[in-house]
Structure 1
């Protein structure tokens, strides 16, 4: 669904392009050539390199890669020409010819529109508290047009000049967070300059705007899971305070990038909880964020210590808060949620994957004969998420 093609060069190219643009932005800001916008350095140009386009257009990506390679060789030839007078003319001629013959991609295809906030990052860290706050903002300002499920079919949608885009779209979700932030605060207009979405900058604070973007991610996952059985784009394990026994509280984000996590929504029956498994950290969800006293030993090691976690995970799972009990979610070592187990299910299988990247046939054969959970965990490890959002590889 969201994995990059097998070519390692494409992943490297996208990372280099993003790093180069970020470095240029920081340099411009340090030199005082650009100011701040909404608390972060403002991108001063109207265009940026469209990494998300390169992901789906390998021909364009190859053109750019070859052109950058030619540019690197040209720079080497220029340096040699400066140091080697005797052959300076030949070296400069070869360099010029190489630049002329390079397969430079069309700027109209390579570049996309940018906003001052295009390279901004969300301060929320994608947390359950932000999702809960975003749900309130969305219900008040967004649901009338985009619909309660985010599919663009709200009660006011038919009265608009242009039908609202669905939030359950891989193409929309691949837009940079900073671009989506700008669309909310500044509104959207068509080619004739007519407003297709009002600007909410005067009605919603920056913090609430970032929060509603977090909620939109959770909403897209839940709606996609119900409609298609999978999520339109990868989703991180949302951050929440965590308490493990008598240890000092920590945050769930500290587990991202280090270990697998199994999230279990406790439905009131201690015996329904799965036993602890050394292959992942088990996180218990309860409605009030506390550990029930009657949990048997070796049934739950940690609990999400936030009353907002239950509702946030219910939205992600695509169920009502009254039906979340018994649901399980699995996150991989990099912190991406990958699989969902429905209440009452026995065992795990590949059908429980809600975030897939596609398995080569030879890898699938290697999983034969294993129990469902082991095969699923190995599949998650083998298929690491490589998701491009706004040109950045996550």
Structure 2
């Protein structure tokens, strides 16, 4: 679900290409050569480097990498030649030879279609409030075609010229968030110019469009194949309160530590604190427990929307969510899902990544299943490619 095994050079290339395009965009915007689209700088060209193509075509990626190296060598040779007259001819010839010998890739393979919002970043931070808003928007405007479960089999799907794509797939990962945002508002047309999805620009504002994208990510995880999320998810942003302290944003409160989200409804005892991770209680109304016994977890998500958001991510109904647990790694990616009273094991992983993802572990190496699971999460960090770029 997180792409092919990571290769350091390919990761570096994708990151470099993304930064170069973003740098070009901001430079163009700073000089007034492009305006704004939906409050962010608009990508002014109809094409962009297709990072998603480089990800699957390693031959093309090598061509791009070698060509960039040749270009850098030529620029350095020219710079040195300007400052060093003695060997200027040799340096200029070497730079020209590098450019001629470089395996320049075909533009038709390297470039893909772009829209003005291709490089827009979502302002929602994947918050529980945005997910809850997105659920309402999705139910009103999207479920008729895409289905309540996101599998593209809604009650109106059969009447369409072509069936809607399923959202419970890597589809969301292949497209950048900014391009999903554009298609939600502007609609989608086929190669003949016929609409395959209506535009919602008159029905939705920017806030609702970003929110429904967040909900689609949660829906994709919750309705995907068991123990195999098609799209990696970050910890949803939410406010956390511990005892009488002021609420803090989860991203600020956790400080790079692992996090365990536990849904509790008051019927079962609170989970114990565990030094291996920080524990956050998610309650139906966002209220903390009336009493927290010693050694029990007491930090609570204050938003009432957290219960609904966690239910969507876990693929459970709100009525059956109590006892569900989600584990996040140190980088903030949700990696495992468990249930109250059940021992943790590798079978609880929902986001598998890394070269050792399918390597069996020796049970004798670790004292318990939870520790083994945490160590595996640390050893196999998520390499998530969104729209062709490493995140």
- Asked if 1:308 corresponds to 2:305, the answer is yes
Which blocks of at least 5 consecutive residues in structure 2 are unaligned? none
Corresponding residue number in structure 1 for 2:329: 332
Distance 1:367 1:95, change over 3 A: farther
* DSSP-derived class of the 2:63 partner: helix
Cα pair 2:238 2:250 within 8 Å, conserved: yes
- In structure 1, the partner of 2:346 is 350
Q: 1:242, 1:361 → 2: CA distance?
A: 32
Q: Which structure 2 residues correspond to residues 119-138 of structure 1 after superposition, within 5 A?
A: 119-138=119-138
Distance 1:266 1:76 in 2: 61
Per-residue CA distance 1:91-143 (angstroms, 9 max, x = gap): 33332232122111222221111110111111111111011111111011100
Residue aligning to 1:284: 281
Matched, 1:221 2:221: yes
Q: Which moved more, 1:356-365 or 1:19-28?
A: 356-365
- Report how many residues are paired: 390
Distance, in Å, in 2 between the alignment partners of 1:71 and 1:156 is 52
116-125 or 248-257, larger mean C-alpha shift: 248-257
TM-score (norm 1): 0.94
Tell whether the 8 Å contact from 2:357 to 2:380 is kept in structure 1 after alignment.
no
Show the 5 A alignment for 1:44-193.
Answer: 44-193=44-193
Contact 2:354 2:382 in 1 (8 A): no
Equivalent position of 1:341 in the other structure: 338
Residues 61 and 137 of structure 1, relative CA distance in 2, 3 Å threshold: same
Paired position in structure 2 for 1:269: 267
Q: Counterpart in 2 of 1:321?
A: 318
Structure 1: segments with no counterpart, 5+ residues: none
Which secondary structure state, in structure 1, belongs to the residue aligned with residue 124 of structure 2?
A: coil
1:174 to 1:280, Cα distance in 2 relative to 1, 3 A:
same
The whole-number CA distance in structure 2 between the counterparts of 1:228 and 1:65 is 38
Q: Is the 8 A contact 2:354 2:381 kept in 1?
A: no
Partner secondary structure for residue 235 of structure 1: coil
What SS does structure 1 have at the residue aligned with 2:223?
A: helix
CA-to-partner distance for each residue in 1:164-187, whole Å, 9 max, x for gaps?
111112133231110000001111
Please, what TM-score do these two structures have when normalized by structure 2?
A: 0.95
- In the alignment, what sits opposite 1:16? 16
Kindly tell me: are residues 305 and 47 of structure 1, through their superposed partners in 2, closer, same or farther at Cα, counting changes over 3 Å? same
| 1:240 positional shift | 1.0
> How many Å apart are 1:349 and its aligned residue?
0.5
How far 1:9 moved relative to its partner? Answer: 1.4
- 2:261 and 2:83 mapped to 1: Cα distance? 62
Partner in structure 2 of residue 242 of structure 1: 240
Q: Secondary structure at the residue paired with 2:52?
A: helix
